[in-house]
């Protein structure tokens, strides 16, 4: 099986807790927090490891919070390639209102990176990329890195004949869509990101598939996946247009569901399974994750149990 490398440029330590009721004004007393390593590629690597796959996680870290993140990853036995910078790693906080079950999510950013950091990070990525392997670039691009940094990573991956899977956001995502250098192997985005990129409302699965098809035809990516939350995920792969309906599960926390999807999807592709089978694995993994507490991720047996409930529809 090809090697898998995940890249996290903007990791975070994820804290999750609960309080009886959230309201403005009084001091809110929270329960003992749960801590997990977080950030897109970090969670993708954790998901792959939980599903029995082999993976390495390239992580840009700094400061005390970065040390804590590495300790948490070590506790989960995820092999890490540490890229050390001076800037402090960020963290996030999720607070659940026990009375209403609503979850409030806050992100506290890490420090800004420098041009020197950017060159060093790209050089270390070039040394880490496996020959003929899969590379997953997932999560945000930190302040200080150029908007085209994902495309710089793409060029490095291409030199090793690798396959690049991207799930990013904001300006770097829009740059990838509107100024493609070469087709990505896989691009994942959500409905809101599609609306921003297209300049129009995405009202239905058909609208989502139409825009994904446009991105494939324009050479943005060979496979485009759009996440639709509890409904499931849509995919255009070449001439194939499919939607995978998600199973109904009790929702405890949505944190990490998209990352779990991407981990299961990539692992399935690396095992040689077709894209529609990978899509089903991804939807099952996301459903298994929303059923966990706080910042926890999927459980492998639960993911497998949900597979038969994920219904593929050819569109």
Q: Which residues are the active-site residues?
A: 259
Q: What is the DSSP string of 125-184?
A: HHHHPPTT-EEEEESPPPTTS-TTHHHHHHHHHHHTT-EEEEE--HHHHHHHHHS-SS-E
Residues 6+ apart with CB under 8 A from 265: 165, 186, 225, 278, 279, 281, 282, 285
- E strands, 152-294, are 163-167, 184-190, 221-227, 232-237, 240-245
Q: What is the DSSP string of 52-105?
A: T---EEEEEE-HHHHHHHHHHHHHTT--EEEEE-SSPPEEEEEEEETTT--EEE
117-132 burial, b for 16+ CB within 10 Å, e for fewer? bbebbeeebeebbbee
């Amino acid at each position: 099986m090809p090697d898998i490398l995940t890249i996290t440029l903007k990791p975070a330590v994820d804290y999750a807790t609960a309080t009886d009721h959230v309201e403005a004004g009084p001091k809110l007393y929270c329960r003992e927090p749960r801590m997990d390593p977080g950030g897109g590629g970090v969670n993708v690597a954790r998901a792959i490891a939980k599903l029995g796959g082999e993976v390495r996680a390239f992580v840009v870290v700094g400061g005390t919070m970065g040390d804590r993140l590495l300790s948490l990853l070590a506790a989960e036995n995820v092999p890490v390639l540490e890229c050390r910078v001076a800037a402090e790693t960020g963290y996030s906080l999720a607070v659940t209102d026990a009375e209403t079950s609503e979850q409030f999510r806050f992100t506290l950013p890490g420090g800004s990176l420098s041009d020197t950091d950017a060159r060093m990070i790209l050089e270390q990525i070039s040394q880490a990329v496996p020959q003929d392997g899969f590379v997953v670039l997932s999560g945000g691009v930190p302040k200080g890195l150029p908007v085209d940094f994902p495309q710089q990573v793409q060029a490095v991956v291409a030199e090793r004949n690798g396959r690049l899977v991207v799930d990013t956001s904001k300006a770097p995502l829009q740059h990838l869509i509107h100024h493609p250098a070469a087709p990505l192997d896989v691009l994942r985005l959500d409905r809101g990101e599609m609306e921003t990129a297209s300049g129009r409302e995405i009202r239905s699965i058909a609208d989502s598939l139409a825009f994904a098809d446009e991105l494939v035809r324009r050479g943005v990516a060979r496979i485009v996946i759009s996440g639709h939350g509890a409904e499931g995920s849509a995919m255009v792969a070449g001439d194939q247009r499919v939607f995978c309906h998600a199973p109904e599960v009790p929702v405890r926390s949505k944190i990490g569901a998209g990352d779990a999807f991407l981990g299961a999807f990539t692992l399935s592709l690396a095992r040689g399974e077709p894209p529609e089978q990978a899509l089903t694995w991804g939807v099952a993994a996301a459903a298994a994750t929303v059923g966990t507490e706080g910042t926890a991720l999927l459980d492998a047996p639960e993911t497998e149990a949900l597979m038969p409930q994920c219904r593929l529809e050819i569109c």
